[in-house]
Structure 1
Amino acid sequence: MEAATAPTDEQLMQAFATGDAAAFESLYDRHALGLWRFVQRSAHNPALADDLVQDVWFKLVQQAPQYQVRARFRTWLFTLAHHRLVDHWRTHKPHASLDAETEDGAALADLLAAASGFGPERRLESREQAQALLDALAELPAPQREAFLLQAEGGLSLDEIAQTTGVNLQTAKSRLRYARNRLRETLEAFA
């Protein structure tokens, strides 16, 4: 007996466009965390990320009736997020800190630190490494940070990063290479 294959994101979006609410739930379940992490790490503010991501999902719902498969759904979704971030930064200046606490009171670095099953020394080292990564990400020029986060959090290919950000493939490739090199240099102390 042949196992049923799960519908693709594109098929789910087309089903949602015709009124299938369960298809939207599946898309949301698949992409909510990665999308939120991309926006949050770009905005450096969990509350702002919540608002912006909500706007992205709302925009997706608005555009559903006109949806046509022209690229991977994930690319389209992260393009919506990219445009929402650009719109936000046009009207607001960045002012959030990486030291800001999340809604549950944890520092952002704590979210990246090792699980509590490790001993105190390992947890401290992991927390320091997580904070160093967040600091290094914050120090990257915005285009490099965005390219890195689109790949790391969005799982986008170089072609998709170029398409999402509106640059050519070589520019996207360079931004990603510079971001990786700079992060590698910054984090060498933890190797």
Structure 2
Amino acid sequence: MNHSATPFAQAAFHPALVENNPVGALSWGDLIEHRAYLVRFAQRKLHDPMLAEDLVHDVFEAVVTGRASFGGRSALRSWLTAVLKNKIVDLVRQRAACDSYDDQADDEHPEAGVAAIECPHARPDEVAEHREFLQRTLARIDQLPAGLRDVMHLRVLQDQSTEDVCEQLAISEENLFVRLHRARKQLVS
């Protein structure tokens, strides 16, 4: 395979870098033969062919400059893939740190940026509303006729299996589903 024919090989591996190669036992052929695999791997993770090429170039640059050194404790492809994974993680972290909520706000609508950083949890007043709604719903379940109330308590509130509820109430599965449907219909209306 002629690696010098590809634009990547011409741009990435300048002869001056080859002379100063601190890799030692690794030849450029050893590295280059894994390039296509590494690019495909990076493309699957990043969904960006150009970025994948850049990261593979960064991996080879790290090897050439000695920032990453192969110890021979694993297969070369595995080691290069691990270095690439670390480069991908670094990129993701770097991009996450650059995301700014200020971009969402402008001078005319400064509250837009604030809305983006609101707490995802319910506010205390929303929690109180949910609790009140739950209490009302439980009270309405308790007011249902006995057959409907029992299936709601056992199947929905206690989360017992269909088989167990049918056995306890001595009813068929079809009858259980009919009762659940009727109970829900009465709760909604």
- TM-score strictly above 0.5: no
Give TM-score scaled by structure 1 length: 0.35
Give TM-score scaled by structure 2 length: 0.36
Taking CA–CA contacts closer than 8 Å with sequence separation of 6 or more, which of the two structures ends up with the larger relative contact order?
Answer: 1
